[in-house]
């Protein structure tokens, strides 16, 4: 069957999206998703999403990594899916949807910026030069003084496939402090198995462990190779963060038709 697809991107993190609110898209195989996301033989994307119907919510987010496997939460994907839902006629002052890691709220401001509420964080594992935490997906945060010259793919792959994290692996983020309120982040993403221009859950994780206030409200500005994001949150202590919002652009790129 032929199906209409849409391409969206959030700070260079790009996604193939299908509207499945009527349930017309057949179950996708790992091979199909991988082919659709392939940048040489398919449409090309970091991931694929279905906008699906779910009782009690505005929609359900079904997300697949570029390797074809259904994945954990994707922050930029969630923001793109909210903008896609709006463009498909689902207009709300505040959205409520369900994803693999639970419920999410989202808003679109008058400038088109999408703010997505992320899951609370209740544990951070601190190492000598890194931190590990889960913001809907597991992230390894490695602090560096020269991220632009870092071998993100080589070092990131070694950590992702290390015995410590086993077959499940982990996303690896390299973080540099620019000033008191701004950080620079590059990410190696599992499932893509390469550096992506931006990673929403990774940016969120990096911002939380870079918080400059001992407690209370924080806002961290984040520069990535793909653009600018900001993360707002309440820090209760070094292990507990609530009311976390990932904010940034989400843009339509193009649409087309593909044989499934």
State residue 158's pLDDT score. 97
Domain with CATH 3.10.310.10 in the chain: 2-117+250-259, 125-245
Higher model confidence: residue 78 or residue 213? 78
Would the pLDDT of 189 be above 90?
yes
pLDDT over 90 at 26, yes or no: no
Rounded CA-CA distance 196/101 in Å is 21
> Which CA distances in Å does 236 have to 9, 132, 243, 249?
32, 18, 10, 28
When the candidates are 3.40.50.1370, 3.60.21.10, 3.10.310.10, 3.60.15.10, the CATH number that belongs to 125-245 is: 3.10.310.10
**Average pLDDT estimate for 73-102:** 97
CB 152 within 8 A of CB 195: yes
d(CA 26, CA 260): 8
Contacts of 238 (CB under 8 A, 6+ apart): 124, 126
Question: Of all residues in the chain, what percent carry a pLDDT higher than 90?
Answer: 94
Report whether pLDDT(248) > 90: yes
Whole-angstrom distance, CA of residue 202 vs CA of residue 51: 23
Identify the CA nearest to 15 among candidates 74, 101, 57, 92: 74
Q: What is the mean pLDDT of residues 118-130?
A: 95
214 pLDDT band (50/70/90 cuts)? Answer: confident
**What are the beta bridge partners of residue 227?**
224
pLDDT for residue 213 is more than 90: no
Q: Which residues are catalytic?
A: 74, 199
Residue 79 has pLDDT above 90, yes or no: yes
pLDDT at residue 212 above 90?
A: no
The arithmetic mean of pLDDT across residues 41-49, rounded, is 97
Assign 136 a pLDDT band (cuts: 50, 70, 90): very high
- What's the chain's average pLDDT? 96
CATH classification for the domain delimited by 2-117+250-259, as one of 3.30.200.20, 3.10.310.10, 3.40.50.2000, 3.60.20.10 = 3.10.310.10
Indicate whether 180 pLDDT > 90: no
């Amino acid at each position: 069957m032929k199906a209409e697809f849409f391409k969206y991107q959030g700070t260079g993190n790009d996604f193939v999206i299908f509207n499945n609110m009527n349930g017309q898209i057949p179950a996708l195989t790992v091979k199909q998703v991988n082919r659709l996301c392939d940048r040489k033989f398919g449409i090309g994307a970091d991931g694929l999403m279905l906008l699906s119907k779910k009782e009690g919510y505005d929609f359900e987010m079904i997300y697949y990594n570029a390797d074809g496997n259904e994945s954990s939460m994707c922050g930029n994907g969630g923001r793109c899916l909210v903008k896609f839902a709006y463009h498909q006629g689902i207009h709300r002052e505040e959205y409520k949807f369900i994803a693999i890691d639970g419920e999410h709220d989202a808003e679109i401001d008058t400038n088109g910026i999408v703010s997505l509420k992320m899951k609370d964080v209740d544990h951070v594992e601190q190492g000598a030069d890194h931190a590990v935490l889960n913001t809907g997906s597991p992230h390894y945060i490695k602090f560096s003084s020269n991220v632009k010259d870092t071998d993100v793919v080589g070092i990131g792959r070694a950590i992702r496939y290390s015995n410590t994290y086993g077959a499940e692996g982990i996303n690896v983020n390299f973080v540099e402090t620019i000033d008191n309120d701004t950080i620079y982040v590059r990410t190696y993403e599992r499932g893509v198995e390469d550096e992506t221009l931006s990673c929403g859950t990774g940016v969120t994780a990096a911002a939380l462990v870079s918080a400059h206030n001992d407690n209370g409200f924080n806002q961290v500005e984040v520069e990535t190779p793909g653009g600018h994001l900001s993360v707002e949150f309440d820090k209760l202590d070094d292990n507990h963060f609530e009311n976390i919002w990932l904010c940034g652009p989400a843009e339509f790129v193009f649409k087309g038709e593909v044989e499934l």
